[in-house]
Amino acid sequence: MGNHAGMGGNFGGSTGLTRLFNSEMGGQISWLIPAALILLVVAVWLVRRGWKSDRTVPALALWAGTFLITGVVFSFGQGTIHPYYTIALAPSIGAIIGIGVEVLWSRREQLAARIGLAAAIAVTAVWSYFLLDRTSTWNSWLRVAIFIPGGVAAIFIAVGPRLGQRLMIGAAAAGLAASLAGPFVYTMQTIATPHTGSMPSAGRQQAEMVSLVVLEAAKCQLGLIQTICPLGHSEALALEAVKCRLGPTQPIHPQGIPGTLAIPTVINMGTSNRVVLEVLMKHQAAQS
């Protein structure tokens, strides 16, 4: 594996503030992070005058602190950080959203509260669209089914009292459904898909990613995997590069390559990218 930054320490991609939103971690945990941040800021603003007596403030401080510390560790941590570790952020994200929604909804007669709710729904719908677009051939209709209702619900909530109580509640329900649709579908996909290996992941596998890095790496031949991995790119990119260069051959076997096959590039989706890449590298070493 060498001492490069990619394989051992960058299963979650390059470090930085955007790491939780990248192609490795984004689909695992980031669906509701933008909404949580919006609700946190607006909720704190709305309760700021009674912060000494309102129990909402210490509750938000507790969960926001938990989210911040854990998020910073995952965003900037070195060493082995697998994307599935980000499940540790789920409790704090859920708590912030739950508290924030209660604070804003109970004050929905105020414009700031309605704008906060509308913004949280709209941003979640947009971000869900982009996350689902990363696997654009998988249930492509779902992006639009989330984006449009989410946008309409956000507008209705922002307008608020002018629409009447029933429409307001209906818009809130539509916004809630749009916001949770992406994580729900990924959860169902995960439940329905057998997982093996040491790196489970939620939702659709990312093996169909396309990037300039992949296209450049596809020009390589024997040094293909060694060329892409030292640059700090994920196993998914390396595997996709192999597919681009060599085309489909025979399925990979988790325990090794039977006989004297060419480098296999049809990936068994029940086998983790890590296992697949190790087998590819062993085979390539044996051939050189």
Q: Which residue has the higher pLDDT, 73 or 242?
A: 73
pLDDT at 198: 59
pLDDT band at 16 (very low <50, low <70, confident <90, very high): confident
User: Does residue 250 surpass a pLDDT of 70?
Assistant: no
Q: Which residue has the higher pLDDT, 184 or 7?
A: 184
User: Does residue 74 surpass a pLDDT of 50?
Assistant: yes
Residue type, 224: L
* 156 Cβ neighbours under 8 A, 6+ residues apart: 163, 167, 168, 170, 171, 174
pLDDT at 44: 94
Beta bridge pairs of residue 251: 266
The arithmetic mean of pLDDT across residues 3-21, rounded, is 61
Residue 271 Ramachandran class (φ > 0 left, ψ -120 to 50 alpha, else beta): beta
Structure tokens at 177: 């459904």
Q: 11-20, 130-139, 170-179, 272-281 — which is least confidently predicted?
A: 272-281
pLDDT at 282: 57
SS3 per-residue string spanning 114-173: HHHHHHHHHHHHHHHHHHHHCCCCCCCHHHHHHHHHHHHHHHHHHHHHHHCHHHHHHHHH
- State the Cα–Cα distance between residues 214 and 2, nearest whole angstrom: 21
Q: 35-49, 85-99, 126-140 — which is least confidently predicted?
A: 126-140
Percent of the chain with pLDDT over 70: 64
pLDDT at 163: 81
- Rounded to the nearest 5°, which phi and psi values hold at 250? -115, 155
Closest CA to 199 of 243, 264, 254: 254
pLDDT at 134: 82
Residue type, 137: T
Beta bridge pairs of residue 266: 251
Under DSSP, is residue 266 helix (H, G, I), strand (E, B) or coil? Answer: strand
The arithmetic mean of pLDDT across residues 143-168, rounded, is 90
Q: Among the ranges 227-231, 263-267, 283-287, which has the highest mean pLDDT value? A: 283-287
Closest CA to 214 of 233, 174, 241: 241
The arithmetic mean of pLDDT across residues 46-75, rounded, is 90
Mean pLDDT estimate for the chain: 73
Q: Is 182 exposed, middle or buried (0-12, 13-18, 19+ CB in 10 A)?
A: buried
**pTM for the complete prediction?**
0.67
Where along the chain do its domains lie?
19-192, 212-287
